[in-house]
Amino acid sequence: MERNDVIDFKALEKELQAALAADEKYKRENAAKLRAVEQRVASYEEFRGIVLASHLKPLEQKDKMGGKRTMPWNCYTTQESTSQNEATEIFQEKTLLQPETSAEFYRNWRRHLQSGPERYQALLQLGGPKLGRLFQTDVGFGLLGELLVALADHVRPPDWVAVLGILHSLASTGRFTLNLSLLSHAERESCKSLFQKLQAMSVPRPMKEGLSQDEQGREEQPGGPQEEERLLHELLRLYQVD
């Protein structure tokens, strides 16, 4: 066997462990989110605290205060940091750009897409239909706000139609209204900024000379500028933007 054909089992094992840890984290946080909703917590901060502390376990009777600690109390953050660094080293671009599940997208989004432009380009590459399928059941905790921030910070006029499609698909996901209500103040401001930019980029199609407004409307083709304008107004309502 040629040297280049040798399988690096150690790297494969690290990648598998990182993937399993990320999937476990996603399921744990999602379960904590559902519990917090059932408990009807009073504020977003309390909701967020429950989810972020989902990895902690209550002390048992055998645990004693003041005893010798053989490991950090909150060792999860240290382990997570190490596993993330290892996963970055063995990261493959194909996995990032073609996630097959929402957990896989969530893992790659948090680990490998660190900058706003990278996140924006990834959203454009996946497109609205694919994102809608990935998050058909639900958008992960805190992810909707991050998606909106990435779009708001980097939206460009040539991407106007594509961004509308992404927003439309996200609005069709499960528990969208709940996730929208959990946006932080900064994320909600980014959402408003995004729609202000989209409205500014929207250029009304000039009317043809000699045609009335009704005749102009009949000449519009399905999926044309008028349809996109209607979609923008519908999204303003769905995202509760004044």
Note the pLDDT of residue 30: 76
pLDDT tens digits, 178-225 = 999 999 999 999 999 999 999 998 865 444 445 444 444 444 444 567
- Listed by start position, the domains of the chain span 8-47+74-204+223-238
Which one, of 212, 179, 223, 205, lies nearest residue 37 by Cα?
179
- Interatomic CA distance for residues 91 and 74, integer angstroms: 27
Give me the helices (H) in the chain, please: 9-39, 44-52, 75-89, 93-97, 102-112, 116-134, 143-154, 160-171, 176-181, 185-201, 213-219, 225-238
Q: What is the mean pLDDT of the segment spanning 71-90?
A: 47
pLDDT tens digits, 41-74 = 666 666 666 666 666 655 555 555 555 555 554 5
Contact partners, residue 12, CB within 8 Å, separation at least 6: none
Dihedral of alpha carbons 115, 116, 121, 127, sign:
positive
pLDDT tens digits, 158-180 = 999 999 999 999 999 999 999 99
Q: pLDDT above 70 covers what percent of the chain?
A: 63
Residue type, 113: L
- Interatomic CA distance for residues 20 and 211, integer angstroms: 62
pLDDT tens digits, 6-24 = 677 777 777 778 878 877 7
